Amino acid sequence: MRRRTGLTLLSLAFLGSSAWAGEGAGELRVQAPVVDVETISAAPVRVEQCDDRPPNASLAELLAWDLGLRCRTELVSSGTVTGYRVFYRWDDRVYSRVMTARPGDTIPLRIRVD
C-alpha cells in the first residue's frame, strides 16, 4: 500500500536546507525531528535467591532450608541496552522505529515523492 506524503512546494520551501535531492529520481532526503527516545533493554533474568543455612537450627529448620523453602525467585535486570525506540515527527504525524544507536535531535529519512 502506497502512502502519499502530502509533500508540496510549500513544505519543500519550509524544509529549506534540511532537505536535499537523493540519488534516485523521486527521492528526497530530510532530517526529521526526534520527539522521544525509549531505551530497550534485554529481558530480565530469573534468579533464585536462598537464605544462608541457619546456624544452630533445629532439624525442621534444616529440612526446610535443604528443600529450598527459604528460597525465592526474583527477576533481575541485566542492564544490557539492546536498542532504542525512536519517536519522530514527519508530515504532522509521529512515527517510531527501532535503532541500534541513540539518535541526536534529528534522524535522516528518505522520502519517496511520486
Instruction: Give the tens place of pLDDT for each residue, 26-46.
Output: 888 999 999 999 999 888 888
Q: Is 29 helix (H, G, I), strand (E, B) or coil?
A: strand
- Structure-model confidence comparison of residues 14 and 73, the more confident one: 73
Segment 44-55, tens digit of pLDDT: 888 888 878 878
Segment 76-106, tens digit of pLDDT: 887 889 999 999 999 899 999 999 999 999 9
Amino acid of residue 60: A
**How far is the C-alpha of 13 from the C-alpha of 70, rounded, in Å?**
69
pLDDT at 25: 64
Split at pLDDT 50, 70, 90, the class of 16 is very low
Q: Is the pTM of this model over 0.75?
A: no
Instruction: Give the contacts of 70 (CB within 8 A, at least 6 positions apart).
Output: 50, 51, 64
The label of the residue with cell 529440612 reads: 63
Split at pLDDT 50, 70, 90, the class of 3 is very low
pLDDT at 24: 55
Domain ranges of the chain: 32-105
pLDDT at 97: 95
